[in-house]
């Protein structure tokens, strides 16, 4: 922003400024006349649909709110922290918490090598690459509810997966109930989510300069040495960020578990989002549901904290999760 423009603009507006001291006349356009009112529609929406419900959620978590008291929820009995105590002592909460952590972390860990590999494999041009790239993204763009519904069909007892397994001489399994269901959820999530790591790794690869490749070639680096010491350092930042975001998304993913297993979900695959949902809308224990939702916020808080620290908020040219 050149000074002359600032000055011109300041002079132009000078009469309006009235008795302001001369020093302040040099303030930039952006410092005067800030159209902050333009923020109001967004602020109102976020206030009404996010902030107020958050506060309301905290209050509801301390009420004995169920299908009998919901009509007049304002006068529902206030029971303090009892919901929280009960959630920890006599519900599946701790189990679901563990499931959520396990599911999210394992899913992220499995997707990382696949995503990085896919980025490396599509970095060099070859015939048909754009087709491969488009195909890699399809699992990611399919809606969760579609992914859930067709995997559920495939995993039925008489479904294609068991048929293929018996065809190969392997034992058929019960995939949608019992201990296997936890791994099924991970498998399907991995199938749908790895392209995100791939995209982030790809954006990291694009920042590798040509000269770096040439230098590695001159040094006679083998492909593995080159990847390990030359290429991977470029990927560390974007992939670490991708892991944080991906873990957050796994933790918040309700649709997939809901579509695959329904609510109430089988014990082995009960994750926090489905537990909160079934507590609120199947058991109709609203207070308890709100308390559990608040507790689940603790889970999100850890990756979110690192995510917020990692994102550069206010640079002129580059922003956030990108590049």
Partner 1 sequence: MSNQTSDVVNEVPLETSRVLPSKPATRKTGRQTAAVYRLLPTPLLVGGTIVLCAMVAIPLLYIVFSSMNSDVEVARGAYFPTEFTLANYTKIWSTLPLGNGLMNSVMIAGLVAVVSSLLGIITAYVLVRFDFVGRITILRGLIGLQSVPGGLLLLPVFVLFASAGNYLGITVIGTYWGLFLAYLTFALPFSTWVMVTYLRGLPKELEEAARIDGSSSLGVLFRIIFPLSWPGLVVSGVFSFLLGWNDVMFASVLTRPNTQTVAVVLQIFGSSAEGGALPLYGQMMAASLVCAAPVVILYLIFQRFLVGGMTAGGVK
Among the candidate windows 14-22, 79-87, 90-98, 134-142, which touches partner 1 by CB under 8 A?
A: 134-142
Instruction: Map the footprint of partner 1 across residues 177-206, applying CB under 8 A.
Output: 191, 193, 196, 199-200, 203-204
Among the candidate windows 14-22, 77-85, 101-109, 279-287, which touches partner 1 by CB under 8 A?
A: 279-287
Instruction: Map the footprint of partner 1 across residues 295-314, applying CB under 8 A.
Output: 296-297, 300, 304, 307-308, 310-314
SS (H, E, C) 249-291: HHHHCCHHHHHHHCCCCCHHHCCHHHHHHHHHHCCCEHHHHHH
Among the candidate windows 16-24, 82-90, 101-109, 216-224, which touches partner 1 by CB under 8 A?
A: 216-224
Per CB under 8 A, 175 contacts partner 1: no
List 14, 46, 94, 298, residue binding partner 1 (CB under 8 A): 46
Per CB under 8 A, 7 contacts partner 1: no
Q: 186 vs 216, which CB is nearer to partner 1?
A: 216
Q: 179 vs 320, which CB is nearer to partner 1?
A: 320
Instruction: Map the footprint of partner 1 across residues 84-103, applying CB under 8 A.
Output: none
Q: Where are the alpha helices (DSSP H) in the chain?
A: 3-12, 14-17, 40-46, 52-60, 82-90, 93-121, 129-141, 144-154, 160-167, 180-205, 210-218, 223-226, 232-252, 255-261, 272-281, 286-310
User: Whose structure tokens read 């206010």?
Assistant: 314
Q: What is the largest CA-CA distance in the chain?
A: 90
- Determine if the peptide bond prior to 264 is cis (ω within 30°): yes
CB of 273 to partner 1, least distance (A): 5
List 84, 88, 183, 234, residue binding partner 1 (CB under 8 A): 234
Per CB under 8 A, 238 contacts partner 1: yes
Distance CA 164, CA 268 (A): 25
Instruction: Map the footprint of partner 1 across residues 47-66, applying CB under 8 A.
Output: 48-50, 52-54, 56-57, 60
Distance CA 308, CA 317 (A): 18
Per CB under 8 A, 171 contacts partner 1: no
Which pair of structure tokens corresponds to residue 171? 């034992």
Per CB under 8 A, 105 contacts partner 1: no
Phi, psi of 285 (to 5 degrees): -100, 85
With vertex at residue 269, the alpha carbon angle to CA 263 and CA 275, rounded to the nearest 5 degrees, is 45
Per CB under 8 A, 67 contacts partner 1: no
Per CB under 8 A, 75 contacts partner 1: no
Per CB under 8 A, 170 contacts partner 1: no
Which pair of structure tokens corresponds to residue 264? 């109430």
List 135, 225, 228, 282, residue binding partner 1 (CB under 8 A): 135
Instruction: Map the footprint of partner 1 across residues 16-45, applying CB under 8 A.
Output: 29-31, 33-36, 38-39, 41-42, 45
Q: 20 vs 282, which CB is nearer to partner 1?
A: 282
Task: Please report how the helices 144-154 and 180-205 are oriented relative to each other, as an axis angle in degrees rounded to 10.
Answer: 130
Distance CA 84, CA 101 (A): 20
The answer to whether the beta carbons of residues 156 and 173 sit under 8 Å apart is: no
Per rule CB under 8 A, count of chain residues that contact partner 1? 137
Per CB under 8 A, 14 contacts partner 1: no
Among the candidate windows 16-24, 103-111, 160-168, 177-185, which touches partner 1 by CB under 8 A?
A: 160-168
Q: In whole angstroms, how far apart are CA 92 and each of 149, 268, 269, 270, 288?
A: 26, 10, 11, 8, 12
Q: 94 vs 214, which CB is nearer to partner 1?
A: 214
């Amino acid at each position: 922003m050149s000074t002359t423009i600032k000055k011109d603009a300041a002079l132009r507006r000078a009469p309006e400024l009235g008795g302001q001291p001369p020093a302040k006349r040099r303030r930039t356009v952006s410092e005067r006349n800030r159209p902050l009112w333009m923020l109001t529609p967004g602020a109102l929406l976020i206030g009404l649909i996010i902030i107020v419900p958050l506060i309301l959620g905290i209050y509801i978590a301390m009420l004995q709110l169920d299908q009998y008291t919901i009509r007049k929820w304002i006068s529902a009995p206030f029971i303090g922290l009892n919901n929280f105590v009960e959630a920890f002592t006599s519900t599946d909460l701790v189990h679901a918490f563990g499931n959520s952590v396990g599911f999210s972390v394992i899913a992220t860990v499995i997707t990382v090598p696949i995503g990085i590999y896919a980025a490396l494999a599509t970095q060099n041009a070859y015939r048909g690459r754009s087709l491969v790239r488009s195909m890699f993204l399809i699992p990611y763009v399919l809606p969760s509810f579609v992914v859930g519904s067709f995997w559920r069909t495939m995993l039925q007892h008489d479904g294609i997966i068991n048929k293929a397994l018996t065809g190969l001489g392997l034992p058929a399994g019960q995939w949608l109930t019992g201990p296997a269901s936890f791994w099924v959820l991970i498998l399907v999530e991995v199938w749908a989510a790895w392209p995100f790591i791939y995209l982030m790794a790809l954006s990291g690869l694009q920042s590798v300069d040509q000269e770096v490749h040439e230098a590695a070639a001159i040094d006679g680096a083998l492909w593995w040495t080159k990847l390990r010491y030359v290429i991977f350092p470029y990927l560390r930042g974007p992939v670490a960020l991708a892991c944080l975001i991906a873990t957050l998304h796994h933790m918040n993913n309700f649709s997939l578990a809901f579509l695959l297993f329904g609510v109430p979900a089988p014990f082995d695959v009960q994750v926090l989002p489905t537990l909160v949902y079934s507590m609120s809308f199947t058991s109709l224990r609203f207070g308890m549901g709100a308390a559990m939702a608040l507790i689940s916020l603790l889970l999100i808080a850890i990756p979110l904290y690192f995510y917020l620290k990692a994102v550069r908020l206010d640079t002129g040219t580059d922003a956030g999760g990108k590049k």
